[in-house]
Amino acid sequence: MPGKLANYKAIWAARPPGAQAEEYQREVAVGRVEQQLQTQGLRMVEGERERLAGVAETVTRSAADIQAAARAITKACQSRIVNVEEVADQLDELEKQARKNRAAIARIEEMQAANESRAQDPVELMERMYNKYPQLPHPADDLPAFRTDSEQSSPAVRR
């Protein structure tokens, strides 16, 4: 077997470049068939060499077409693999963003619930407003029943 491999390597190295390579491969294939026939003590009938050359040409073209298709498929698969990796990275980023958004939504809902519970008590709401904005008049200032004698004489003094 090592002798055959060396023979094939020598044939491959001796092939001519370009378009002549296909013709050379055809001739090598026909030569192999002739050699096998001669080792069995047979020879080709006239016209068989041309027919065999046509078959070899068809096989060579088919092999070239298959190789071209394989290269195209490989290239398409590689580009799809890259696309899949890019999409996977984008999905990871979107998942991270979604987690952040869900956490923000949960915080907002908690704040809304807290605000709603606080808004139920109007007195507490008014007290918070007064504490937050001390420049506003205190709600008790508008109600004379809640004023003490000292407050009635001086409206600037607050509770």
Q: Nearest to residue 52, comparing CAs of 32, 74, 76?
A: 32
Tens digits of residue pLDDT in 39-49: 877 776 777 77
Cα angle value 14/18/19 (rounded, 5°): 105
Tens digits of residue pLDDT in 112-126: 887 776 656 677 777
H or E element at residue 50: helix 48-119
Tens digits of residue pLDDT in 60-103: 777 778 888 888 888 877 777 777 788 788 888 888 988 888 88
Contacts 24+ apart (CB under 8 A), 25-34: 25/56, 25/60, 26/53, 26/56, 26/57, 26/60, 27/53, 29/56, 29/59, 29/60, 30/56
Give pTM, 2 decimals.
0.33
pLDDT exceeds 50 at position 143: yes
Q: Nearest to residue 140, comparing CAs of 119, 153, 155, 118?
A: 155
